[in-house]
Amino acid sequence: MSRPVRIDSFLWAVRLFKTRSIAQDACRKGRVAINDVTAKPAKMVMAGDVISVRKPPVTLSFKVLQTTANRMGAKLVPEYILNVTPPEQYEILELKRMSGYVDRAQGLGRPTKRERRDLEQFLQAPVVEPEPLEDWSEESQADWSEAPLEYEPEEPDGPSPDLLDWDNW
C-alpha cells in the first residue's frame, strides 16, 4: 500500500505542475481540492482520493491510484493517476481555444518590436500646428481667373518612336 504524500509534492511528481513552488502557489490560492475540500500545500493525499485542479477556464479531476513524492517520466504517470475530468470541461477548453481565432483578424496580432518603437516615436512626436490658409476672397479669385495660361508643349527629348520599333530591326 502506498504511503501518504504532500499534495504539492504529488502534483509536481505526476507532472501536473512544472515546479513544486507553482503547485504550492496553486494550493495557497485555493485552486486545488482533495475530495471537494480545498487543500493547503501540506495536506496529505492517499490512494483513492480525487484531486481537482482548477486551471482557468477548466477544472481538471484526477483519481489517485498510487502515491509518490519522486518526479517521474510522462510514460509512468498513468500508473499513478487516472483522469476523470468530465467531457464538458474539455468542450469549454476547445471553445476557448477556437474563440481566440474568431476575435482576431487574419494577419494581425501583436506588433513587432520595430512597429512598437515606431508607434511610440509617432505618439511622442511634437504636434505641429498648420499655418492658416490665405484669404480666398472674391478679389483674389478674380486675379487668378484673368491671368492667361502660359503653357507651351515641349518637344520630346528622346529618339523618335520609329527608331524604337523593335519589330523592324
Tell me the per-residue pLDDT of 69-96, one tens digit each, with 9 for 90 and over: 999 999 999 999 999 999 998 888 888 7
Taking 90 as the threshold, does the pLDDT of residue 2 lie above it? no
Residue 50 pLDDT exceeds 60: yes
**Mean pLDDT score, 13-42:** 95
- Quote the pLDDT of residue 104: 47
pLDDT band of 130, cuts 50, 70, 90: confident
Per-residue pLDDT of 141-152, as tens digits, reads: 555 556 566 666
Residue 112's pLDDT band, with cuts at 50, 70 and 90, is confident
* Average pLDDT, rounded, for the chain: 81
The three-class DSSP label of residue 24 is helix
SS3 category, 19:
coil
Give yes or no for residue 166 having a pLDDT over 80. Answer: no
Q: Is residue 132 predicted with pLDDT exceeding 80?
A: no
DSSP string computed for 83-116: E---HHHHHHHHHHHHHHHHSS-TT--SPPHHHH
- pLDDT (mean) for 19-30: 95
Return the ∠ at Cα 28 (arms to 93 and 52), rounded to 5°.
Answer: 40
pLDDT at 97 over 80: no
**Whether the predicted pLDDT of 107 surpasses 60:** no
| Main-chain phi, psi angles of 120, to 5 degrees | -65, -40
Q: Above 60 in pLDDT, residue 106? A: no
pLDDT top residue among 41 and 156: 41
Distance (Å, whole) CA 126 – CA 112: 24
Q: What grid cell was written down for 47?
A: 490512494
